[in-house]
Structure 1
Amino acid sequence: MTTQRILSSFATILISTALCTQAVQAQETDKVNFAEHKNATALAERLKAKEGIPASTTLELLKQAELLPQVVKAVKPPKTKGVRNWDTYRSRFVEPYRIRKGVEFWDANLGTLKEAEAKYGIPQEVIVAIIGVETIYGQHIGNYRVLDSLATLAFAYPEGQRDRSEFFLSELEAFIALCNRTHLDALEVKGSYAGAIGLGQFMPSSWTAFAVDGDADGIVDLFHSRRDAIFSVANFLKVHGWETGKATRVLVDIEHADNLQELLAPDIVPTFTPAAMQQKGVKLNGETQPDEKLALIELVRGEGEPAFVAGGHNFYVVTRYNRSSFYANAVLELSEALKLRREMLN
């Protein structure tokens, strides 16, 4: 081997070694011991007092949690502020594949959906639509270890925006308590980057408060039991105030914009009677009850003219699942599309 080849090979080895060292260093910078965080001991003591979990057990669990840089990135505001666009958002959820899979899910679980509707008063198509929007009927439950996601957001929430670390700390506490009480393994459970779990993407506190053992097997399983997931979604909406017969969303025409800002001011909170809306220039193209309250919802469409819909009491209830008018309108549009498609097929 020539001297030049030897030097070239040696240089290659040095470069490879340096790259490996940099990779290891990069990984090590992401390794933290969450058990040493200032709020960890208080968390462990609360779980000891409320759940009887030894503080050492909680702290040992937190030692095994990993900082996820991708989760930190996911909750950071974008560097350039984009314009919200209802058409783009809608196209992700009210689309042929989700409608087709939704009808299949509906038909496969028809008996359970009928029982849930009878017990909780939630239309079958709304239950199906929520599970469809959340996970495409279980296809996308999430690949993040929930312990890592929640610990990252509880103890390493990014600066420069509204601090939600307290919320995620409470969810981390609820998650550890939930795993202690159930069959769930805190080191194995996977979900969304924000810690939502199961077919209906319940946060741990929602699982504790609203999940239902629909198949009466003694275990609430929102991952594998469709019956549990269906009953739990229905129970969530019922507990949050769903009322049979009240409006979800009503299509509207804006006849004049004189009172538009006044109508939009309450945002998603139902405030105006149908008569008041009509008097203020909004024509309602759907059935409502005379005494119920509505909210005028603006669906921003980027550079284009916005679309409008009147959200009723039950529209507001759907926003308790995800506090977004886009989300609620997508769920309800999908529910309408599912019902229409199924009626056409049957």
Structure 2
Amino acid sequence: MSVKKTVYATLLIAALGLSANIASFSVEAKKKELSQEGFEQYVAQLKVEALEKGFSQAMVDSSFAKVKFHQRAVKADRSQPEKVETLDTYLPKRVPKWKVDKARALYKEHQVLLTDVGEKYNVQPRFIVALWGLETNFGKIMGNYNVISALSTLAYEGRREAFFKKQLFAALTILEEGHIDIENMKGSWAGAMGQNQFMPTSFLAYAVDGDGDGKKDIWQNQADVFASMANYLQKEGWSDELTWGRQVKLPEGFDTSLAIPKNTGSRKNWLKAWSQTEKTLAEWQALGVRRVDGTNLPNVDIKAALVFPDDENGRVYLAYDNYKSLMHWNLSYYFVSSVGHLSDRIKFPPVK
């Protein structure tokens, strides 16, 4: 921070009646001690920043009027799930028969709307329904956290302060644009919102007004929910001429270095690895790759990359370009596999 900015920050703190030692929110300090008093002081700074970004005093006051510190959000953010799953144990829990049955029923119930959305955005409706089912159990589990409170809490916690502050100011923009009011702006502990669990920046980038009523309501308006999901996929390169991928089997002695490494560290590195390893289906066929039932791969001129959600001893998939769109939604082999498998089971007749 420059001297000029440091002086400005010190004067600003003084003007707010805050002592510098209390208002110094280093990451390490916030890791060691989080308090209601400290949170309130931090929120005061957030409100000043919001005003500096051009939000009105009335908007800032109403948005933060009931803001509160959520210790549970901090605990959830700091907790790391134990890596004890394999795809074989994960998929039956994420895509049980009851969810497949419900997905098929809701597909039929909303078929007219889904067909219209699918044709407009060139996205097969079964993938929209699959995402809907896996993100929020078809809109039933959206989270009940006040989004401003959740994002303020996680910004205050400090480990990913810049990220959550960016999300917070995006949330204020959504409120300012009138898509939802503060009382109904609910989400997960991390600030993911609505039936499709968009983070605020994703909302601003991908949410659309599906029925032309002037609002982008991903909480209650089914036309907006479906259209926003489809718009997301379309903007990230989706093609309705492709599926997501297929499970395959490898020959004995196959060179597993031809697959995308499992741990690439970032989406950028993963995409780079994709570009370095993708081949045509004919090339994979020549290398001995076959459908899981042992038959030849489809005789079509498309490219695919090889992925191991677990390792070479687990399930193996050839992933098509749509797989990349789903990995942009959630950079997780398990999540993408669950979306793909549910979408396949929604389709009639089932994909073979």
TM-score where L is the length of structure 2: 0.77
2:60 aligned residue (31, 35, 58):
58
For 1:129, the equivalent position in structure 2 comes to 130
Query: Displacement, 1:319?
Result: 1.3
Where structure 1 has 5 or more consecutive residues not aligned to the other structure, the ranges are 1-27, 158-162
- Rounded to whole Å, the distance in 1 between the matches of 2:83 and 2:148 is 31
Structure 1 counterpart of 2:116? 115
- Comparing 120-129 and 219-228, the one that deviates more: 219-228
Corresponding position of 1:294: 304
What count of residue pairs does the alignment treat as equivalent? 303
Written as runs of structure 1 = structure 2, the 5 A alignment for 1:144-223 is 144-157=145-158, 163-223=159-219
Query: Secondary structure of the equivalent of 2:193?
Result: coil
CA distance in 2: counterparts of 1:43 and 1:288, whole angstroms: 57
In structure 1, the partner of 2:289 is 282
Which residue pairs with 1:315 in the alignment? Answer: 323
Shift in Å, 1:164: 2.7
Pairwise CA distance, 1:122: 0.4
Q: Distance in 2 between matches of 1:60 and 1:112?
A: 35
CA deviations on 1:145-179 (whole Å, 9 max, x unpaired) are 2111111111214xxxxx43222111111001111
Conserved? CA contact 1:30–1:68, under 8 Å: no
Q: Distance in 1 between matches of 2:334 and 2:83?
A: 15
CA distance in 1, matches of 2:112, 2:62: 44
Contact 1:246 1:289 (C-alpha < 8 Å) held by counterparts: no
SS in 2 for 1:306: coil
Matches within 5 A, 1:251-262: 251-262=247-258
Partner of 2:16: none
Instruction: Give distance in 2, aligned partners of 1:123 and 1:238.
Output: 11
Deviation digits for residues 295-326 of structure 1 (CA, Å, limit 9, x no counterpart): 2221228xx94111111100111111111111
1:43 to 36, 49, 55: 49
Between the aligned partners of 2:304 and 2:43, the Cα distance in structure 1 is: 46
Among all aligned residue pairs of Structure 1 and Structure 2, give the percentage whose two residues are the same amino acid: 26
Q: Say whether the 8 Å CA contact 1:35–1:41 is kept in structure 2.
A: no
Contact map agreement 1:103 1:341 (CA 8 A) in 2:
no
* Equivalent of residue 238 in structure 1, options 209, 234, 237: 234
- Kept in 2, the 8 Å contact 1:71–1:194? The answer is yes
* CA distance in structure 2 between the aligned counterparts of 1:70 and 1:116, rounded to whole angstroms: 37
Residues 243 and 34 (structure 1), Cα distance of their counterparts in 2 relative to 1, 3 Å cut: farther
Q: What letter corresponds to residue 75 of structure 1 in structure 2?
A: D
Following superposition, the deviation at residue 233 of structure 1 comes to 0.6
Look up the match of 2:89. Answer: 88
Deviation, structure 1 residue 289: 3.9
Superposition CA RMSD, Å: 2.8
Structure 1, residues 61-83: CA drift from partner, whole Å, max 9, x if none?
447422211111112143x8433
CA-to-aligned-CA distance 1:216-258 (integer Å, 9 cap, x gap): 1222211111111111111110011102323411221111344
Conservation of the 8 A alpha-carbon contact between 2:259 and 2:308: no
* Secondary structure of the structure 1 residue equivalent to 2:174: helix
Q: Any conservation in 1 of the 2:247–2:315 contact (CA below 8 Å)?
A: no
Distance 1:92 1:187 in 2: 33
Tell me the distance in 1 between the aligned counterparts of 2:40 and 2:102. Answer: 41
The higher radius of gyration belongs to: 1
Change (3 A) 1:189 1:37: closer
Task: State the secondary structure of the residue aligned to 2:329.
Answer: coil
Q: TM-score normalised to the size of structure 1?
A: 0.78
Partners of 1:41 and 1:288 in 2: CA distance: 59
Q: 1:171 to 1:65 in 2, by over 3 A?
A: same
CA distance in 2, matches of 1:175, 1:199: 16
Gaps of 5+ in 2: 1-33, 265-269
Measure the CA separation in 2 of the matches of 1:99 and 1:190.
Answer: 27
**AA in 1 matched with 2:42:** E
Supply the AA of the counterpart residue of 1:275: A
